[in-house]
Amino acid sequence: TKGPSGLEKVVLREARGFSAEVHLYGGQVTSWKNDRGDELLFVSNKATFKPPKAIRGGIPICFPQFGTHGNLEKHGFARNRFWAIDDNPPPFPESTAVKTFVDLILKPSEEDLKIWPHSFEFRLRVALGPGGDLVLISRIRNTNTDGRPFSFTFAYHTYFSVSDISEVRIEGLETLDYIDYLRGKERFTEQGDAIVFESEVDKIYLDAPAKIAIIDHEKKRTFVLRKDGLPDAVLWNPWDKKTKNMQDFGDEEYKHMLCVEPAAVEMPITLKPGEEWKGKMELSAVPSSYCSGQ
């Protein structure tokens, strides 16, 4: 399908009515809807959908570099490349119940090899589980033929749609060590209970647990994020001031989004030729009452 932007996208639909959309540009999930048609991910009303700018919202893929942890452009180049669909993907070994998925492939172009001189194959599988869960599995393989290893950092830069950021609480990151990107490279330890939001946040929690809950009190909805192979978790909300410098982000939109990003940043991943890395994120959206006492 082609969206209004003219960019190609794949639409996944699951029997109960959940759906997801993935743009080939960026290999980026730009929509995930529940069986009532409610959008669960945030995409800015000002998102441009015009290469070479990355799409503001959904789930940008940060690879081969997260943020400014290296010499490449911020968050690497995967989010502004055109990915290809694999028409004949391998079967789904994780769960035979999953029938609705698409595999996108990214390989470096000649130009990419000039800025990051490594041959790789990145297979991104986007799947809708039978209960509407959104599953992203990344498999990155070193295909260098000259024996060279490579290292990379990575994140699923997930923009969740929330009713009101001041009504949102995160569970699963309390007591962890983190680096606050707004305060240099020093390590802090999270004190107290669940995390709430009152100002700009740009932090990376180190060695975060496999399960993180994003509780939206007003919507009475909880997102449960499960991750595997991705030790860290970034929290980001630009708040009002930062937003003013972002052309593709509305002035008030920070109230309705929160990025929670499973990532591998503190310890870059190193692959020898022929080796493959796998990083998985699974999202579900459940009524909040269902989650209490988890």
Instruction: Kindly list the catalytic residues.
Output: 157, 261
Cα–Cα distance for residue pair 182/13, rounded to 1 Å:
40
What DSSP element (H or E) covers 133? none
DSSP labels, 115-176? HS---EEEEEEEEE-TTS-EEEEEEEEE--SSS--EEEEEEE--EEE-S-GGGEEEES-TT-
What DSSP element (H or E) covers 110? helix 110-115
- In single-letter form, the type of residue at position 8 comes to E
Site residues (CB under 6 A) for ligand BG6, limited to 60-99: 67, 74-75
The smaller minimum CB distance to ligand BG6, of residues 58 and 172, is found at 58
CB of 267 to ligand BG6, least distance (A): 17
The smaller minimum CB distance to ligand BG6, of residues 157 and 227, is found at 157
Q: Which of 130, 127, 150 is nearest to 140 (CA)?
A: 150
Candidate residues 9, 139, 157, 221; the one interacting with ligand BG6 per rule CB under 6 A:
157
- Binding mask of the shown chain, residues 158 to 197, with x at each position contacting ligand BG6 by CB under 6 A: -----------------------x----------------
Q: How many residues bind ligand BG6 (CB under 6 A)?
A: 10
Omega of the bond leading into 90 within 30 degrees of 0 (cis): no
Candidate residues 32, 101, 197, 236; the one interacting with ligand BG6 per rule CB under 6 A:
236
Cα–Cα distance for residue pair 121/46, rounded to 1 Å:
32
The smaller minimum CB distance to ligand BG6, of residues 82 and 181, is found at 181
The smaller minimum CB distance to ligand BG6, of residues 101 and 154, is found at 154
CB of 56 to ligand BG6, least distance (A): 7
Cα–Cα distance for residue pair 159/116, rounded to 1 Å:
27
- Binding mask of the shown chain, residues 194 to 213, with x at each position contacting ligand BG6 by CB under 6 A: --------x-----------
Query: Does residue 154 bind ligand BG6 (CB under 6 A)?
Result: no
* Partner residues linked to 21 by β-bridges: 11, 31
Give the residues lining the site for ligand BG6 (CB under 6 A): 54, 67, 74-75, 157, 181, 202, 234, 236, 261
